[in-house]
Structure 1
């Protein structure tokens, strides 16, 4: 994971886009699912614009400039722990960590192996198992075993490279949910919600010569530190507390996907 102690580049400046909201997150069906998964009111999608040309190799400059920008400091939302309430970053970030997250997948057929490997039945029902506890998670079906337990005999149906893909990361986050998550019996809601969120956040383009559709977004999983330690996405580490920056280099937009467990 690369660390950015470097002085932020003066050329990256950001503007908050309060009117560019993720309307999909506000739909009734999605609200109900996120409430069931204990993620509603704990997730945010925000948009910012930037005026300069971006290339992926500028990752550390870009992310540090983002967290040091006054428009980000005063508008970037996060949840405080005690009391639990939404606040803005509002602190002088000294250091950032930005991990590049591959974002090449353009088809939900990526998950077809859940059926062929009988994690999910043809009917869409997720195969159940005896309860196993792993960290903060109760594993009561083969899907969660696949997501969490490396010793599970079907763990390798998704390679390490597969698991690093942004599409897989979103799917895993939605399946694991929040602290009081009520799990689904059917795979459908997880796949449909993953597809919709991915489509909302990731930009694609058709190559004019080959006619092949490809993603053009660059994704970083980020954390930021002030003089007291980690300050974003939270002061406490958890697999389900995360923040991603999804950068569209053509529109020069950054979407921030945030969740606090």
Structure 2
């Protein structure tokens, strides 16, 4: 899965309207809000919803992303921009993210390889470090460290899935994360956020399938400096657009790993 080349954020036939406020987002639900504070993600993980009136096809993903980050209304309303970075993008790199999972069933494998034990307890391990991510339990290790002996519990395709990327984002957390002792809070939070961002429908055979198109994006200014995410080289600094082509909705999810923030 490779990213498309960054292209200028010129005008395209998409126009956006912000639909929500800070209080009607899944991240504001009391149970999730408390966990995000504990994981040092409160205010750093942000979700926001926009509508657009034009028909969308997957082949237009670059056009939509460019139009989104070039829209003055988006620039003035999007809360994902770090402090001082709220401006129209000059170019946007777009990468399609697989998004086909409709349940969290694949995470049951974690118990089979000893990542969790007993009453949902996460198994500790000797402390190691991957980049600046400190690892001292099996859950973080199996999600981050390719040298883990059970790395192949998930295939490369499964690890690329948006839901798995979302779980990894939550498990690693923010810069001053206080980690959980049990797996369930991570799974429940990932499921709730995923359901908020992604739309499903039934196919002709009555099977529930995901209809949303998920894009990982990097928006840059005219000097080629990233404005969202601010540090795309860091695995915890990310931005996604989740597009529902039927309802014509764009859900934005972003996470900033660090200390400098808006608000």
Same fold (TM over 0.5): yes
Change in 2 beyond 3 A, CA 1:7/1:222: closer
Aligned-partner Cα distance in 1 for 2:114–2:9: 51
1:192 and 1:93, CA in 2 relative to 1: closer, same or farther beyond 3 A?
A: same
Number of the residue aligned with 1:251? 247
State yes or no: 1:56 paired with 2:53.
no
Gap change, CA 1:217 and 1:236, over 3 Å in 2? closer
Deviation at residue 135 of structure 1 after TM alignment: 1.6
Partner of 1:89: 86
User: What is the correspondence of 1:218-229 to structure 2 with a 5 Å cutoff?
Assistant: 218-228=213-223, 229=225
- Residue of structure 1 equivalent to 2:39: 37
1:95-128: per-residue Cα shift (whole Å, max 9, x none)? 1111100100001102111011221114211111
Unmatched segments (≥5 aa) in structure 2 = 258-263
CA contact under 8 A between 1:20 and 1:47: conserved in structure 2?
no
1:117 has 2:113 as partner? yes
Structure-2 change in CA distance of 1:140 and 1:216 (3 Å): same
- Number of residue pairs matched by the alignment: 254
For residue 210 of structure 1, what is the aligned residue in structure 2? 205
Between the aligned partners of 1:23 and 1:9, the Cα distance in structure 2 is: 29
Once the two structures are TM-superposed, the CA of residue 32 in structure 1 deviates from its matched residue by: 1.2
CA contact (8 A) 1:222 1:244 kept: yes
For 1:132-158, what per-residue CA distance to the aligned partner results, in whole angstroms no more than 9, with x for missing partners?
A: 122221111111111111111101111
Report the CA distance between 1:89 and its aligned residue.
2.0
Larger deviation, residues 229-238 vs 144-153: 229-238
Q: Which residue of 1 aligns with 2:261?
A: none
Using the TM superposition, give the Cα deviation of residue 235 of structure 1 relative to its aligned residue in structure 2, in angstroms. Answer: 5.0
Provide TM-score, normalisation by structure 1: 0.91
Contact kept? 1:115, 1:121, Cα under 8 Å:
yes
Aligned mates of 2:119, 2:181 — CA distance in 1: 11
Q: Which residue of 1 aligns with 2:260?
A: none
Instruction: Give the drift of 1:69.
Output: 1.1
CA distance in structure 2 between the aligned counterparts of 1:88 and 1:77, rounded to whole angstroms: 11
The offset of 1:77, in angstroms, is 1.9
2:19 is the counterpart of 1:17: yes
In structure 2, relative to structure 1, the CA distance for the partners of 1:198 and 1:246 (3 Å cut) is: same
Distance 1:154 1:162, change over 3 A: same
Which 4+ residue blocks in structure 1 deviate beyond 6 angstroms? none
**TM-score normalised per structure 2:** 0.91
Q: What is the CA deviation profile of residues 133-185 of structure 1, one whole-angstrom value per residue up to 9, with x for unaligned ones?
A: 22221111111111111111101111111110000000000000000001111
Distance in 2 (CA, whole Å) between partners of 1:247 and 1:152 is: 34
